[in-house]
Amino acid sequence: MSEPAATLPDTQICENARLSRDARFDGLFFTAVSSTGIYCRPVCPAPVPKRENVRYFANAASAEAAGYRPCLRCRPELAPGNALWQRGDHVVARALKLIEGGALEDQSLEQLAARLAIGARQLRRLFVERVGAPPISVHTTRRLLFAKQLLTETALPVTEVALASGFRSLRRFNDAFAQANRIAPRELRRHPRATGDAALALRLGYRPPYDFEALLAFLRGRALPGVERVDEHSYARVFGPSDSPGWLRLSAWPDGEHALRLQLHCPQPSQLLGVVTTLRRMFDLDANPQAIADTFHHDAVLGPLIAKRPGLRLPGGWDGFEIAVRAILGQQISVAAARTLATRIVQRYGEPLPIVGVPGLERLFPTAAALAEADLREIGVTTARAATIRGVAQALLDGRVDFRAEQTLEAFVERWIALPGIGEWTAHYIAMRALSEPDAFPAADLILRREAAMDDVPLTTKALNARAEAWRPWRAYAVMHLWRGASDNVPNLKQTSAKQTTDKPTRATR
């Protein structure tokens, strides 16, 4: 796999975007101003600086490594991430996924490099060349920008902000924050947005267009009572641990801002950054819709679909094991039937919780340990699928399969299809939902084979795979567009037969 190309847009594109404050480029580059020592988002409302004073950086870490501090007006911590950096299987992309998942919070750079089968010095060199900053700087910038958002938008004590952003020493946090921002953390406490509410309220930015309504519709048909609540305007969920559970609710930010509003009650500050990271992946907030549209624009099938729904995103899942169980339950039955079985599993094996802030959220999805020996036949699961779920649970406990961010799509699929009852469709579907893998592609799906055909005869799996080569590296988005297009065209599609494939469901609403 070749090294990822530099993702800083052409200089003239950057220039046009900053002059027009084009939100489509928010987070794809940052504008640094030499006369002020500040770096900004391209949407910054401040007066436009002179061209001779401007430098462009592909990410916040490289801007800070060059000595610039984040703008207090446009707040770079609110910019959506750039998922292009994490695309592909190159060591830098895989390392960035690990850092995003918090690998450097508990591990050294040497340990991170060992997970990637590379030396620490070589990893640092690749980061400086490709990202513009070493891995530790990328990790530190991520933590400090999150701390800046918490300080600005919440009333969390500074000590808890330090813990939430991954610092175990308040002194180190104060020193690092002051060095990066040229002000002490407490100075941001004067901001009028800070409130004393029990639940935090945070903005999660995205790059437009963003079809939140379609994503909620997808999740609403699969929501598990007791674990999730999804209506036309919001997504809510409870999460563990069971002795101090938290809850969250996501809705659109008012006044048309390109952001979601996260209401979050999280008793353990150290979980905050992980929760936000999971939600950004689950709701695909860092996608670049323009790059996806450019790939599909001239395709005879996908072109009209993406023109109709340019903001369609890839719906992820909260937990990998939960997605795997639900994928297995959904093999060859309807979404509603699979949801019924999953609900029974939650009610029988999910851990009950004390009352939380959202009515109806009362249980955690069962763990792999809880289902490894469970007899799911008692609640209506077929013998074969009950055995598959137990086998997957045990394989996760044994470490034969996992949801590690650094593994390639090919390696993930290869390990999962080695398990009894898991075929190519299920493995790719799990990768698409649990890992938010943008190139996952369950090619044997009947709906995909039918919708991608240029006539009334469904393509073969082999023919669809060949057809989809032109859709790389965004094949999972092609799946969502084809499924959604089929649903739009045939409202009663989910009532059709699902017995035309081997290991998977075949309806577009899966």
The two three-digit tokens of residue 359, written as one number:
């009515």
Alpha helices in 240-287 (DSSP H): 272-282
Q: Are 207 and 219 in contact (CB under 8 A)?
A: no
Q: Are 470 and 391 in contact (CB under 8 A)?
A: no
Could you tell me which residues are beta bridge partners of residue 264?
A: 200, 248
Could you tell me which residues are beta bridge partners of residue 69?
A: 38
Order of strands across the sheet that contains 246-252 = 200-205, 259-265, 246-252, 234-239, 228-230
Question: Which is the catalytic residue, given 26, 284, 319, 445?
Answer: 445
Give the containing element (helix H, strand E) for 265: strand 259-265
- As a whole number of angstroms, the distance between CA 98 and CA 93 comes to 9
On the 0-12 / 13-18 / 19+ scale of CB atoms within 10 A, 440 is buried
- As a whole number of angstroms, the distance between CA 454 and CA 445 comes to 16
Give the containing element (helix H, strand E) for 161: helix 158-164
Alpha helices in 424-474 (DSSP H): 424-434, 446-451, 461-467
Pick from 507, 444, 433, 508: which is nearest to 476 by CA?
433
Length of the chain as a residue count: 510
Sign of CA dihedral 287, 288, 293, 294: negative
Alpha helices in 258-417 (DSSP H): 272-282, 289-296, 302-308, 320-329, 335-349, 368-371, 383-398, 409-417
Using only C-alpha atoms, what is the Rg of the chain?
23
Q: Is 189 left (phi over 0), alpha (psi -120 to 50) or beta?
A: alpha
The answer to whether residue 40 is catalytic is: yes
- As a whole number of angstroms, the distance between CA 271 and CA 451 comes to 42
**Strand pairing class (30-33; 200-205):** unpaired
Give the containing element (helix H, strand E) for 91: helix 91-100
DSSP character at residue 505: -
What single letter denotes the amino acid at residue 109?
A: L
Question: Which is the catalytic residue, given 40, 44, 71, 74?
Answer: 40
List active site positions: 40, 445
